[in-house]
Amino acid sequence: MVTIRPARNISGSLRLPGDKSICHRYAMLAAIAEGTTRLTNFSPGADCACTLHCLRGLGVECEQERDRVVIRGQGLRLKGPEEPLDCGNSGSTMRMLSGILAGQEFTSTLIGDESLSRRPMARIIEPLTRMGARIEAAGNMAPLQISGRRLRAIDYKMPVASAQVKTALLFASLYADGETSVNEPVCTRDHGELALRAFGAGIMQNRKEIRIAAGKKLQGIEAEIPGDISSAAFFLCAAAIFPGSHLTISNLLLNPTRSRLLDILTLMGARMNVMQLEERHGELVGTVEVRGGGLSGAVIAGEDTAALIDEIPILAAIAPYTGKGIEIRDARELRVKESDRIATIARNLRTMGAQVEERGDGLKIPGNQRLKGAEMHSFHDHRIAMAFAVAAIRAKEETRIRGAEAASISYPDFFATLDSLVQR
């Protein structure tokens, strides 16, 4: 359990651990590339550690010292594992690694913890099976037994927007005959496409269609991973709800498919300044300065929901402190995350005394509310634990969060970092 005391302001500067989405993809591509890949500012979170653990189980040499990771690529063909590959709580690991395993010449089994074993996997099973892989999964959930084989190229229209599924299919396409195309219903984060280009794959994109041909060998790279913008979201929102706050975050990922939060906070009234922009392996990186202000409100729907899917918990958690509240639509995907995030957000907000309307695909949270300290649960969900820590710093009286250790999945030092920024 962690106890959060109210604050009067947020001030300071920080540099965040590497973006999880990029770390997963770079590590997996490094494993099947030729030569050695060297990565710095690699995420310390448990999810990315699960990816490295699974790669080691596939015969890949991965050395890690603090935030530095060295991966010696094995080429496209990996070694059959001697035991099941444990993905822990990481849906990213399970879904994206499945694309690589679908093209191998052996059978492997992917397992996960209780939470991951409840999450839907049909969205990767169906297209990978169409490509020729054989996947056994009771109820379309983990564990997944994947019998890899020579794959065939397909043209696939994704029924549900998912960057993880898209990346899994693009990874599988490296093992397919011919050219594979993937069409998205709405644009999702493009780290998979950028990573494939960085490692030398032949990939083409035209708006929501991505095409990739097999046959090109991947080559290892050297890269510094930019700071995780999904982790930054908690600190940016924390600063935004205090009118006198001033926070600077350097070396931050500013990929346009991930930085919609900056636009939303600006539209709501926070004062944002982006500086020192540069490009690394196709990814935009820079420094963001935020000063708090009186936040108005927002409606998040459609493509914004897809772009902000990881940031919705924190936006919902600060919604009572805004002038007009926040309404979230088209977010049914939140029902099948580490927890049912729509239900857990609503429950914790009510525990803190807020009014909230829970809907099948979202939430409506009025503004101008005063939250009170309370005892609540993370529901073993890292984003819920961190979001309500932020809500708690402006609440009346202390808040206790049970299961707060869930934050270690993505950011083990989150609570210490937050505490270093608050002024009381």
Residue with token string 């897809």: 306
Q: How far apart are CA 12 and CA 245, in angstroms?
A: 9
Q: At 6, which amino acid appears?
A: P
Q: Which of 374, 393, 413, 400 is nearest to 245 (CA)?
A: 393
End-to-end CA gap in the chain: 21
Residues belonging to the active site: 310
DSSP secondary structure letters along 189-219: --HHHHHHHHTT-EEEEETTEEEEES-PPPB
Q: Is residue 359 a contact partner of residue 397, using CB atoms and an 8 Å limit?
A: no
- Is residue 10 within 8 Å of residue 238, measured between CB atoms? yes
Owner of token pair 């529901």? 379
Strand partners, 40: 224
Residues 6+ apart with CB under 8 A from 201: 174, 212, 216, 218
Those residues with Cβ within 8 angstroms of residue 120's Cβ, 6 or more apart along the chain or in another chain: 140, 141, 336
Q: What is the DSSP string of 215-273?
A: -PPPB--EEEPPB-HHHHHHHHHHHHTSTT-EEEEEEEE--TTTTHHHHHHHHHT-EEE
Cα separation of 399 and 57, whole Å? Answer: 41
Residues 6+ apart with CB under 8 A from 53: 85, 86, 88
Pairing of strands 325-328, 297-300: parallel
